[in-house]
Structure 1
């Protein structure tokens, strides 16, 4: 029986519980390992220890690390990859996708449509930036999830004050055109297959459509999902070298699509409850297929 290391500090979370159950149902043994409790060693070999386990052979790694643990998670993934273990997703893909501006650079270089965005690192450039990208704008931290660190600035004064505060706190931020719609699409991609999609609609009290910010979700039937949405979602995931991704898309004022961002650790709760699609089982089947192709499987 092969063992999958499930990197998660919160075993009570819906996604963690669903993935663990699906992996066990598929015949895997599952080790739920808190990322911050690893010791990684370099002594001619890549060794590791964890507070909760002794010496154990791990066949694959499934990271469920939040944004604050991105760097730590990437180091752990790189360690296991150096041992020849399959990681869903790997360290480089995780780092690339978690950098909100860097990921947009990669997406645009791949020919994908993204919102007009500007990044700057010094207060001396703030006014010039606001001259070229006039409010209303969205001010975003370069890292974060679930809508945290995302603010709407409807005037130049508000945008300037927000940027001053973030710079004072030494937080990196970017400024993005405001897309006026109150809903976006979350599309789950596994490999080159679109698994599920839902529309997320913002509440009356918030411009953000994230479910953690009070947004509401409804399923989109893949049979009627716009072919362009599916194609852009697959291309966005591939551009960032992700095997598993949540791709967020939104329409601009002219109706054309934009890729907002790509989440390398997408939540399962909203999408499974909205659509009824068993994403966890599909992930477990994918892990089995990847190990089988490498000559080992549960």
Structure 2
């Protein structure tokens, strides 16, 4: 039995709205949340027997970790930051989401592979280091009257997206891939079913879809960061099931699943993105469902309950009901 309040490290490279909500939800359950930047964590085999330095925890370790943000950096820096999360899991610390799941969701090619393998409807996708091969894909799709989207492999918030293929002028050529890490990630463009177009963001927590919104935009990119507006949306059973399957395919504790309307899919939608470090401020603005509280409850009741380091604690509460239509 613990003699102190549960101590939860919130890994984030910036503090703000999300971290404040998580700290408040933890505080309401008798737990203590502390923001830690992974860039400030270190491996040090002389500091303590476990070999890690987590700022704010002395020679000890937090009881659990919530990953809210990982700063970009060099390949080496990001490798070590993820290595800290891997090490915490190896030491028996529940990490929400753990490094393996984050790696799967950050790498769009692996996300696509795992969705395809799980037979989850997702647009046709090609990933290649060969610019000539990628250009042939663009030309082949254009010849069939289709377009493809060129995406950065590690991109987010709708940045760096380009539409290529059939248009009024013929075929848009593939740009130089230098800005894309010399890699072409191409995904077939799904034509909007109505104007303005929209997609859905469904939040999955602990394997259950809990709430959803529509992101509506005159532009074909529907990210809130690119100016899309958030609208409340019913969480239908087909959408919920598709989002839950996508989250499970990547092994995520919580996930933001982006789905686009599509006539060809039995569910009426295809999964286009899986976000393993999902922001939810836009979604929270259009739903009464308390997202941070649900994340914290799932961490305490499910993740910590199965931790060999922590067998019981009197701050655990029941998880609120999901608002599934």
User: TM exceeds 0.5?
Assistant: yes
Distance 2:159 2:128 in 1: 20
Contact 1:67 1:145 in 2 (8 A): no
The residue that corresponds to 2:23 in the other structure is: 20
The residue that corresponds to 1:2 in the other structure is: 6
The one of 179, 186, 200 aligned to 2:215:
200
Radius of gyration: which is bigger? 2
Q: Deviations over 1:40-69 (max 9, x none)?
A: 235795322245552233111101124726
Residue 184 of structure 1 pairs with residue 199 of structure 2? yes
The residue that corresponds to 2:318 in the other structure is: none
Change over 3 Å in CA distance of 1:133–1:167 after alignment to 2:
farther
Change over 3 Å in CA distance of 1:31–1:159 after alignment to 2:
farther
> Equivalent residues in 2 for 1:1-298 (5 A)?
1-12=5-16, 14-42=17-45, 45-51=49-55, 54-66=58-70, 68=72, 71-134=79-142, 135-153=146-164, 155=166, 159-162=172-175, 164=176, 166-167=177-178, 170-181=181-192, 182-202=197-217, 204=218, 206-222=219-235, 225=236, 227-252=237-262, 254=264, 256-289=268-301, 290-294=303-307, 295-297=311-313, 298=315
Change over 3 Å in CA distance of 1:110–1:296 after alignment to 2:
same
Distance 1:269 1:83 in 2: 32
Partner SS for 1:153 = strand
Change over 3 Å in CA distance of 1:159–1:175 after alignment to 2:
farther
Q: Deviations over 1:159-208 (max 9, x none)?
A: 4343x2x2466342311111122211100011121111001111x3x321
Shift of residue 113 of structure 1?
A: 0.7
Range with greater deviation from structure 2 (259-268 or 49-58): 49-58
Contact 1:180 1:253 in 2 (8 A): no
Q: Deviations over 1:262-282 (max 9, x none)?
A: 101111201111112101001
Contact 1:40 1:76 in 2 (8 A): yes
Change over 3 Å in CA distance of 1:37–1:183 after alignment to 2:
same
Change over 3 Å in CA distance of 1:90–1:234 after alignment to 2:
same
TM-score normalised to structure 1 length = 0.89
Change over 3 Å in CA distance of 1:296–1:80 after alignment to 2:
farther
Contact 1:141 1:174 in 2 (8 A): yes
The total of aligned residue pairs comes to 290
Shift of residue 253 of structure 1?
A: 5.0
Shift of residue 136 of structure 1?
A: 2.2
Distance 1:22 1:196 in 2: 18
In structure 1, stretches of 5+ residues that fail to align are none
Range with greater deviation from structure 2 (15-24 or 242-251): 15-24
Distance 1:103 1:49 in 2: 31
Contact 1:73 1:91 in 2 (8 A): no
Contact 1:211 1:270 in 2 (8 A): yes
Partner SS for 1:276 = coil
Change over 3 Å in CA distance of 1:72–1:15 after alignment to 2:
farther
Distance 2:30 2:68 in 1: 20
TM-score normalised to structure 2 length = 0.82
Root-mean-square deviation (Å):
2.3
Q: Which has the higher helix share?
A: 1
